[in-house]
Amino acid sequence: MTAIVVHPCEHPLVGSVPVPSDKSIGHRALLFAAICLGKSRIKGFTGGDDNRSTAAALRAMGVVIDEVGSEVTVTGNGLFGLRAPTSSLDCGNSGTTMRLLCGLLAPQPFESTLTGDASLQSRPMMRVIGPLRSRGARIDGRPHPKKADDVTGPLVVHGLPSGEYLGPLEYVSEIASAQVKSALLLSGLYAHGPTYIREPMLSRDHTERLLLSLGVPLSTMGPIVRLDPSTWNGQMPAFDLELPGDPSAAAFLVTAAQLVDKSKVVVRDVGTNPTRTGFFEIARDMGAGIATEPHGERGGEPIADVHAWSAPLRSTRIGGELIPRAVDEIPIACALAARANGTTMIMDASELRVKESDRLATMALVLRAFGVSCEERPDGLVITGKEGAFTPARIDSRGDHRIAMTAAVMALAASGPSRILDVDCITTSFPKFIGTLRALGARIDVEAVDG
């Protein structure tokens, strides 16, 4: 296990840095390439362990995936080109891998088992299994230890006997979840009949963009998506895609620039798809120094350089449609709130309780450890900004990458060194996080810890 000691910044953070490739788009690019026909090239692939879990699962089903530097070549054999895996598919820490694979594997003519680490095997899976079962899928899970009526991994996806198909689906989802939506759309590629999904609010739409670019007959209207394969020949051509930088990773650097006085940071080539920019909008509402310099598109997704500089912050209210557009950035938005003048309310965010950790509970502990006053509510947090430096803290990340990185960023603005335990998880999404902060001028020591 690794710990880091983060020293308070004595100088501004300055520089221009890249971030890893977008994790969400990376998963989708790999999965779709695996069922396209021919060799797809995914460029700028610098994502972390979560993307590697998806690649490993596909390799275990016979998909040839070659990596040279940051370019990945995937040889797809069409919708029915996957082979039965000979052992269970380990999704690691990645909820996206497990949930999207449910949708892809449910219509296959073979059985597969999906496992993951302890955190993943405590996450609710009925949200995908329920609607998939209603169109004929056979998937079993382990009863969820804490949620009656829910299940968690390991999951056994039985597949379909020859001559059986998934049926049509009309699904009104109670949660805005791109993982649920994408799993259902993947299953819809194989179904006899249309797939109609309505979310309460639009979640990230990378799946829709990619499928449309591959000629799949799909239409969208706000939070409604419909896929009707009846007029489709069931083939997707191989593609070339250059991945944008991950806006979720950029959020940590933008926040670091706000917390360390006189900082000036540029994050290059960041994806600015509007379904992902909630955090940047929150930061701007709070008075943060932030500007985007758009420069075109990458793989059908807008990209921009994000300029961030320290500025006085004020409190805000975060809720409603901003939540799905900033769902992974709420922990780091708490760090802005911790520094803002006034009391920030975070509402409508109960989904955070079922992420890699219960992020509302974990963030409440982190904030208090840094001397920031915080009230935990069932669906959010009430955070009163602290004047002056944070109290040096000792934080256990609980294996959650976004908690570990949030704590590291807050530690830059503490009055003495802080220790963050269990930081290996950072490689899930941002393998070069510590190196990037160091390149901007931060002082961080890495320590190996027994056990």
Residues belonging to the active site: 328
The C-alpha atoms of residue 44 and residue 56 are separated, in whole angstroms, by 18
Shortest reach from residue 133's CB to ligand S3P, in Å: 18
β-bridge mates for residue 419, sequence order? 5, 394
Q: Is 352 in the site for ligand S3P (CB under 6 A)?
A: no
Q: Is 273 in the site for ligand S3P (CB under 6 A)?
A: no
Nearest-approach distance from CB 8 to ligand S3P, in angstroms: 30
The answer to whether residues 167 and 192 touch, using CB atoms and an 8 Å cutoff, is yes
Pick the piece of the chain touching ligand S3P (CB under 6 A) from 174-182, 314-322, 337-345, 383-391: 174-182
> In the bound complex, what is the minimum distance in angstroms from residue 92's beta carbon to ligand S3P?
13
Q: Is 268 helix (H, G, I), strand (E, B) or coil?
A: strand
Q: Binding-site residue total for ligand S3P (CB under 6 A)?
A: 12
- Does 263 sit near ligand S3P (CB under 6 A)? no
Q: Which is nearer to ligand S3P, 178 or 214 (CB)?
A: 178
Q: Per rule CB under 6 A, is residue 328 in the interface with ligand S3P?
A: yes
Is there a contact between 23 and 56 (Cβ–Cβ < 8 Å)? no
CA distances in angstroms from 120 to 98, 184, 423, listed in the order given: 8, 20, 17
Q: In this structure, are residues 428 and 93 in contact, taking their beta carbons and an 8 Å threshold?
A: yes
Within 10 angstroms of residue 10's Cβ, the number of other Cβ atoms is 8
Q: Closer CB to ligand S3P, residue 27 or residue 386? A: 27
203 binds ligand S3P (CB under 6 A): yes
CB neighbourhood size of 417 (10 A)? 16
In the complex with ligand S3P, which residue's Cβ is closer, 90 or 328?
328
Given candidates 152, 179, 263, 436, which one binds ligand S3P under the rule CB under 6 A? 179
Q: What residues does 306 pair with on adjacent strands?
A: 267, 292
155 contributes a contact to ligand S3P by CB under 6 A: no
With CB under 6 A as the contact rule, the residue among 96, 97, 273, 316 that binds ligand S3P is 96
Per the structure block, which two tokens stand in for 259? 């917390």
- The pairing of strands 343-346 and 289-298 is unpaired
The rounded distance, in Å, linking the Cα atoms of 409 and 252 is 7
> Is 327 one of the binding residues for ligand S3P (CB under 6 A)?
yes
Distance CA 138, CA 378 (A): 33
By CB under 6 A, tell whether 177 contacts ligand S3P.
yes
Handedness of CA 32, 35, 222, 346 (dihedral sign): negative
CB of 84 to ligand S3P, least distance (A): 26
Of 49 and 305, CB closest to ligand S3P = 49
Based on CB atoms, which residue is closest to ligand S3P, 305 or 328? 328
Query: Of the ranges 178-186, 304-312, 374-382, 416-424, which one interacts with ligand S3P (CB under 6 A)?
Result: 178-186
Spatial distance between the Cα atoms of 247 and 245, rounded to a whole number of angstroms? 6
Residue 85 per-residue DSSP state: -
Query: How near is the Cβ of 320 to ligand S3P at its closest, in Å?
Result: 15
Interface positions, 15-44, toward ligand S3P (CB under 6 A): 24, 27
- 341-362 as b/e: b if 16+ CB within 10 A: eebbbbbebebbebbbbbbbeb
Q: Which residues bind ligand S3P (CB under 6 A)?
A: 24, 27, 96, 177-179, 182, 203-204, 327-328, 351
